[in-house]
Structure 1
Amino acid sequence: MIKKLLFLFLFFFSVHGLARGDAGTWTVTVTAGEFDRQNTVVTFLLPGRVADGIYGMKMKDSRNHTVYAQVDDNRAHFILEELPAGESVTYILDTGATVETDAMAGVTREVAGPSVTFRGEGRELLSYFYEESPVPGEIAPRFRRAGYIHPVYTPGGVRVTQHFNPSRPHQYGIWSAWSKTEFQGRMPEFWGAHEDGGRVVADTIALSGEGPVFSGFRAKHRYVDFSAPEPVTALNEQWDTFVYFLGGDKDYYFFDLHITESANTAKPVRILQHKYGYGGINIRGHEEWIGERAMNFMTSGGYSREEVVGERIRWSYLWGDIQGKTAGIGLLAHPQNDNHPLSVFINQEGEPFFSYGPLPLKSIIIEAGTPRITKYRFVVQDGKPDPQQLEQWWNDYAYPPGVTVRKKQNK
């Protein structure tokens, strides 16, 4: 834990230090493109080097309307409230000085015990276990694990994920794992948490800043093959995660997850196609969703739970009643992902488990020097989902507004 927290502190100090970077005034023109935009996450790279922080962006020719741009690692993030299709808007961004905001008005984070928790306007949104979570007494110790997201709450405070279910203790909220692999002539299995097979081990974590737009983290995991004479890391995995809270009057929020997998040795890792196709990015839903009709399922292709296994979809959504309230969580897949759109495995025995990946379609190979990058956006919502709204959110993610940044010329 000391090593991880030291790494976290050094990262935060280095990227949030006193250097101000290339201060200046910029015009930022945002074009909606062919879609109407509403509460859309917009990100863009800044020319030159701009220090991390929060900056004001004033709408050109308007004295009253200002939005916050949060800069992290030279990329600005802001929320575009509304812009009709085909229209554009220009902002003036002054990077000469950061602005002060209400610390509780945006996304904050807190490190406590084995996890880091993110909150929006003080409401708990989600946690990430950077160290192994304590295992309940009825669960075998071998199922201990770190490197996953749980719990996930809606803006209304309804928990929608679960870990350590007694019948499926190897399913952990939102996590990544592969079920059938081939590496150095062996076939380690990173799915079932077997001590003599493969395990996913959390390594380090670094936190990004807090602010009115987002907070997040970068975590590194290792896929360790314990079936070798000496344990060897087969894959390195990096999670870049961004938690966006859109305001207390919204019944939904987003978080983005970018996963980079790279071979750790000169030997490739082959991830094998198989009939059931689970493996990749996975969701374990709330325990009240156990049962054939307790959890509802919606997809971009209109497939039912019984029809969807092996089908290609762009987005999916799981929802149901939890303690008398309707809530759910959806996954939107980016079109730049390998072999997009990927396919689905969902449990047909009443378990609230969903897996999104390539394995019903084909095997994949991760070779040295050629990382595999996949990107997802999750939406967490109170109430029943609207398929048209989900389609709009996917369009915003897949085909975001265009952004042009130019240095403002003094007259």
Structure 2
Amino acid sequence: MKKFKFDYIQIRIVLIFVLLLCSTGFPQKINSSELICKIIIQAEKELPPNTPVSIPIDNYISRLSASSFILEKIDNSLRLKVPTQIEPGEQSKLWWLLPKKINAGEKQVFDLVHGTPQIAPLVQINMDSDGLEIHYKNRKALRYQYAPLKPPTGENPLYVRSGFIHPIWSPGGKVLTRIQPSDHIHHMGFWNPWTKTEYEGRHIDFWNLKKGQGTVRFVKFNSLETGPVFGGFEALQQHVAFDSTKGEKVVLNETWQIRCWAPLSGNNKFWIWDFFTSQSCASLSPLTLLKYRYGGFGFRGTSDWNERNSDYLTSEGKTRKDGNGTRARWCNVYGKTDKGNGGVLFISHPENHEYPEPMRIWPQGDVFFGYCPVVYADWNMVPNESYVRKYRVIVYDGTITKDEAEQYWYNFIHLPQIDVKWFSNK
């Protein structure tokens, strides 16, 4: 295998603070000189455990060293230490996961105090010459293929592809994606090309690779991050048009941001990861995404799934029989495998183009799902603009009810009310 040289990789070993989930059985008084801030989270609706929450810390980060504080949840006389992680940037944030459920109308109180946390990152990145894997405590979550993957023996070399996710693993180790199936060799697990486009007077298909009109390629990693609360990467990809006379031309630059959230307390049922994509024209030429029934991100389900043992359920109550072409805030794709039940819940963000987005759902046969914002209308991408789409992905073993799916959707798009009181001795 060809070894790839990672020029320009910024490995962001973010400021991480892992705090053992433990508590004392006796009341503990916090000296006022130790208290940095008090945080109160109010729940309008129920907030389940493992919900990601954050506070801005721009005004204070310069005064805090990388190992100088601990977050504690106040529970009557008990103080539960909670892992935290700083996301640096123009608006730096302190992230953590709710250790316990907050019922609707109730609150949780946290103290941020001076102290030395114990460091033990939980979300890790493993890389080889072909791909990048994200692990939770040595359990695999997903693999991003950055090296070009050749097609099966005897197939057209135009099917070579990079810049996709496969496998997606459930927490119990079930592989829920499939690549290069014989019926659609261009299907690549979880991937994000456009199908019917117009560029500089030509029709370009980045999806159906055998046409030889275009493809999508990995270019480089902009950043990698690992820590006790989340881990992931940002990758640059390019949508490339082929021309037999002029050669290749980059049409779109695209960044993928994948962030996986660490489950607390050894939770084995599900984990959460976010997929944010930002696309922009690579030249002064615009790109028109023409109205078509599929295009955008696609998900090809495991070969274990078929129309007899799998189904879809959307936020509007649609299924395999009547879901294709309809709009939905979320779609649950699920079925049976050789290891039991499992599935993937896809959640679309209200800021996405054409929200609630139309969907491509195969009504028969194997499982294919995709949000496709161009089902009913063209979409013009012009130079000097960025086009962002945001999705949350819940990968799980067992089952998820409609009410649970609604709760995951609500918690993705509605931030809870968080009140912070900073103390003068911070």
After TM superposition, the score normalised by the length of structure 1 is 0.89
Cα distance, 1:263–1:324 mapped onto 2, change above 3 Å? same
Indicate the residue corresponding to 1:43 in structure 2. Answer: 54
SS in 2 for 1:312: coil
Cα distance, 1:98–1:189 mapped onto 2, change above 3 Å? farther
1:5 paired with 2:6, answer yes
Indicate the residue corresponding to 1:359 in structure 2. Answer: 374
Check conservation: 1:268, 1:365, Cα contact below 8 A. Answer: yes
Check conservation: 1:4, 1:205, Cα contact below 8 A. Answer: no
RMSD of Structure 2 on Structure 1 (CA): 2.5
1:85 paired with 2:85, answer no
Unaligned runs of 5+ in 1: 18-23
Q: Which amino acid aligns with 2:257?
A: D
* 1:331 paired residue among 328, 346, 349: 346
* 2:126 paired residue among 100, 105, 110: 110
Check conservation: 1:139, 1:164, Cα contact below 8 A. Answer: no
SS in 1 for 2:352: coil
- Aligned-pair CA distance for 1:137: 2.2
Tell me whether 387-396 or 75-84 shows the greater mean CA deviation: 75-84
Q: Which amino acid aligns with 2:126?
A: E
Q: Which deviations, in whole Å up to 9, do the C-alpha atoms of 1:259-292 show, x marking residues without a partner?
A: 1111111221110112xx2111110100111x33
Paired with 1:325 and 1:14, the residues of 2 have a C-alpha distance of 37
Paired with 2:85 and 2:77, the residues of 1 have a C-alpha distance of 21
* Count of equivalent residues: 397
Q: Which amino acid aligns with 1:242?
A: R
Paired with 1:238 and 1:329, the residues of 2 have a C-alpha distance of 23
Indicate the residue corresponding to 1:27 in structure 2. Answer: 38
Q: Which amino acid aligns with 1:317?
A: N
Check conservation: 1:52, 1:72, Cα contact below 8 A. Answer: no
Q: Which amino acid aligns with 2:72?
A: K
SS in 1 for 2:233: strand
* Structure number with larger C-alpha Rg: 2
Indicate the residue corresponding to 1:407 in structure 2. Answer: 422
- Aligned-pair CA distance for 1:211: 2.1
Indicate the residue corresponding to 2:401 in structure 1. Answer: 386
Indicate the residue corresponding to 2:329 in structure 1. Answer: 314
- Aligned-pair CA distance for 1:6: 3.1
Check conservation: 1:128, 1:149, Cα contact below 8 A. Answer: yes
Alignment of 1:121-136 (within 5 A): 121-136=137-152
- Aligned-pair CA distance for 1:328: 0.9
Indicate the residue corresponding to 1:241 in structure 2. Answer: 258
Q: Which amino acid aligns with 2:11?
A: F
Q: Which amino acid aligns with 2:86?
A: V
- Aligned-pair CA distance for 1:229: 1.6
Q: Which amino acid aligns with 2:112?
A: L
1:64 paired with 2:83, answer no
Check conservation: 1:53, 1:72, Cα contact below 8 A. Answer: no
Check conservation: 1:269, 1:366, Cα contact below 8 A. Answer: yes
Paired with 1:369 and 1:319, the residues of 2 have a C-alpha distance of 39
Cα distance, 1:206–1:53 mapped onto 2, change above 3 Å? farther
- Aligned-pair CA distance for 1:408: 2.2
Tell me whether 136-145 or 69-78 shows the greater mean CA deviation: 136-145
Q: Which amino acid aligns with 1:7?
A: Y
Check conservation: 1:52, 1:70, Cα contact below 8 A. Answer: no
Check conservation: 1:69, 1:76, Cα contact below 8 A. Answer: yes
- Aligned-pair CA distance for 1:52: 9.7
Paired with 1:239 and 1:357, the residues of 2 have a C-alpha distance of 17
Q: Which deviations, in whole Å up to 9, do the C-alpha atoms of 1:99-119 show, x marking residues without a partner?
A: 33334xx21110112111111
Paired with 2:183 and 2:282, the residues of 1 have a C-alpha distance of 33
SS in 2 for 1:307: coil
Indicate the residue corresponding to 2:390 in structure 1. Answer: 375
Indicate the residue corresponding to 1:230 in structure 2. Answer: 247
Q: Percent identity of the aligned residues?
A: 26
Check conservation: 1:107, 1:245, Cα contact below 8 A. Answer: yes
Indicate the residue corresponding to 1:183 in structure 2. Answer: 199
Indicate the residue corresponding to 1:343 in structure 2. Answer: 358
Cα distance, 1:203–1:403 mapped onto 2, change above 3 Å? farther
1:261 paired with 2:279, answer yes
Check conservation: 1:32, 1:88, Cα contact below 8 A. Answer: yes
Q: Which amino acid aligns with 2:240?
A: V
Indicate the residue corresponding to 1:120 in structure 2. Answer: 136
Indicate the residue corresponding to 1:204 in structure 2. Answer: 220
